[in-house]
Chain A
Amino acid sequence: MGGLPHIMADVTLDTKHTSPAGWRRVVAFSSGSALIYVLSFLIGVAVWELIAAQLPGVVFATPSEVTGRLIEGLANGEISGAFVNSLRHMIVGLALAIAVAVPLGFLVGRNEAAFHIADPIVNAFFAIPSVAFVPFLIVWFGLFYEGRVSLVFIMCVFDILVTVSAGARNIDRAMLSVGRSFGASRWHMFAKVMLPASLPFLFTALRIGLVRAINAMITAELFFATVNLGAYLEEASARFDAAGMLAIVFLLALFGLGAQEAIKFLERRLLPWHVRN
């Protein structure tokens, strides 16, 4: 895609430099950079503590209060129960988006005519913030589970589509030519050439889609009928309970980062030939 979605697919959440040499280094704790990461964390928390100490407790909470609230909520089931429920519509919405966007992405990426037909439409949809569709989704799917699934779907489907189509378009031509000149059958071309060449960007699409789905999960819980984590956030805000709200914000951010790292780890394990960095 020539326009905006293309750069989104390229740069969005492209955190492959997040931790140079990956988490192994952090785990091994051998090099100096691990120390800097710990330092970064400590300095960040200290700054946060300082800021929080200046502000009244109803407005902002200290790191220790937030951690305490998070552990308490996870242990007594108040946060963990809501979180598990939230995952339900997230996973269903994401699965639907993948089922639609991956085949469509291949079609658009491998067929020139389909690409230029889809290009303006995808650009147009991309330019509209997904939440703006919420009033529609309420009319069509109601305020509850189906509505939330539909928002997760809408919020991930274009990101995945754009990533897959960009990847499919950039499959190395030489590889396809080699397959063809060795007389590979259609099935062989698909199984031995196309699929392995596609796995790297399919993983990228999954990673981008997942982070977007987590984002959509909480958005849906606040903009439709408030339930689960969204309800926890609303109640905390009604009580002026800053620690409770920040606990959810950090839970979601850590979940997003964790999910992203997990997919990168899987990628390294399953696609050792695809060397990053």
Chain B
Amino acid sequence: MSNTRKRFYNALGIGITLLIWELAGQYMGDALLAPPSSVAGTFVELLFESDMVLKLIGSLQLALAGFGLACLIGMPLGAMMGRSAVIDALVHPWISMLVVTSVAAILPIYILLFGTGDQFRVAIIFTASVGYIVLTAYHGARGIDPKHIDVARAFSTGRVDTYRKVIMPALFPYLITGARLGLVHALRAMIVAEMFVISGYGGLIFHTGLDISTAPILAYLLLLMAVSLGANMVLQRIGQAAAPWYEARMQRA
């Protein structure tokens, strides 16, 4: 299918959804589901006349702190697990457990441990994203073609150079994928945690939910969606720019 055709179908999909939303919104009323026509106005209003953006930036800073920590610890850990069977066996069961653990279930215990402030949010975001980052790095490190390493050895490449010129380039696409995956979970955890203790952007969503009109909350969700999609696209672009072999490699994977 040609690109124009794809674009056309994409636009069609968005158009149909907006139409259904508009009709359903008109029928159900603002209290149950505000139609896009009234959400658009509210969105602009909130954008300029409320602290919506500031709240989101504040929350995103904490999310980035938790996510950054998760990358810093998770990426090397995953890579080591992939290259060493002993480390893998020791750590893997706990990572598997971490990945299936529900973020919601650990909220109460983290409140006891960290209080309800910034520390709590960063800790939750870290816990929710680190497992995915580790597992993706692990799959990447495990999947490195032994032939490539053999070639390096045959040309008597040193340990450091093998790492820098063979292992890292092979791992890189997976690190980016892990980061993208981790970021989604970081943002999800951010909202879960903030809705639970009613603070930051998540608190804004939960509070507003109790008002008369659903237009503001839909505006909040749209902004959140835009940020999430945008952040993901940025990570993808970084991957493409820093490692042009990224696309080809991930397509094969």
Contacts and interface: CB of A to CB of B under 8 A. Distances in A.
Contacts, number: 194
A60 B93 contact: no
A236 B25 CA distance: 41
B105 A127 contact: no
B35 interface: no
A81 interface: no
Nearest to A135: B209
A214 B210 CA distance: 27
A36 B105 contact: no
Contact of A236 (B107, B108, B209): B108
B122 to A, nearest CB: 17
Nearest to B94: A44
A237 B206 contact: no
Residue from B16, B103, B108, B109 having most chain A Cβ neighbours under 10 A: B108
Contact of A132 (B13, B91, B191): B191
B90 A43 contact: yes
A135 B105 contact: no
Contact of A129 (B10, B187, B210): B187
A6 to B, nearest CB: 9
Contact of B102 (A59, A139, A215): A215
Contacts of A15: 96, 99, 135
Contacts of B188: 129-131
Interface in A4-24: 4, 7-8, 10-15, 17-19
B228 A13 contact: no
B97 A253 contact: yes
A64 interface: no
Given A7-B181, A245-B108, A257 B196 contact: no
Nearest to A15: B96
A112 B10 CA distance: 11
Contacts of A267: none
A219 B1 contact: no
A127 B209 contact: no
Given A134-B209, A233-B108, A116 B1 contact: yes
Interface string A110-145: 001101111111011011111111111011100000
Given A14-B135, A40-B90, A135-B208, A248 B105 contact: yes
A83 B93 CA distance: 24
B224 interface: yes
A255 to B, nearest CB: 9
Secondary structure type dominating chain B contacts: helix
A198 interface: no
A253 B136 CA distance: 20
A260 B100 contact: yes
Interface in A23-43: 33, 36-37, 39-41, 43
Size band of the interface chain B makes with A: 35 or more
A223 B195 contact: yes
Contacts of A43: 90
A3 B214 contact: no
B104 interface: yes
A215 to B, nearest CB: 4
Given A8-B184, A222-B196, A119 B102 contact: no
B202 A132 contact: yes
Contact of B104 (A11, A138, A219, A237): A219
B139 interface: yes
Contacts of A218: 102, 104-105
B177 interface: yes
Contacts of A246: 109
A189 B117 CA distance: 58
Interface in B80-112: 85-86, 89-94, 96-97, 99-109, 111-112
Given A11-B177, A127-B229, 15 more contacts: A4-B184, A4-B229, A7-B181, A8-B184, A11-B136, A13-B100, A18-B92, A119-B13, A120-B13, A128-B225, A131-B188, A132-B202, A233-B105, A237-B112, A260-B100
10 contacts: A15-B99, A37-B93, A129-B187, A131-B191, A135-B205, A135-B209, A139-B214, A236-B108, A249-B101, A252-B105
Interface of B: 1, 5-6, 9-10, 12-14, 16-17, 31-33, 85-86, 89-94, 96-97, 99-109, 111-113, 132, 135-136, 138-139, 142, 177-178, 180-181, 184, 187-188, 190-192, 195-196, 202, 205-206, 208-210, 214, 217, 220-221, 224-225, 228-229, 232, 250, 253
**5 A-B pairs with least C-beta separation:** A135-B209, A256-B100, A116-B9, A117-B13, A36-B89
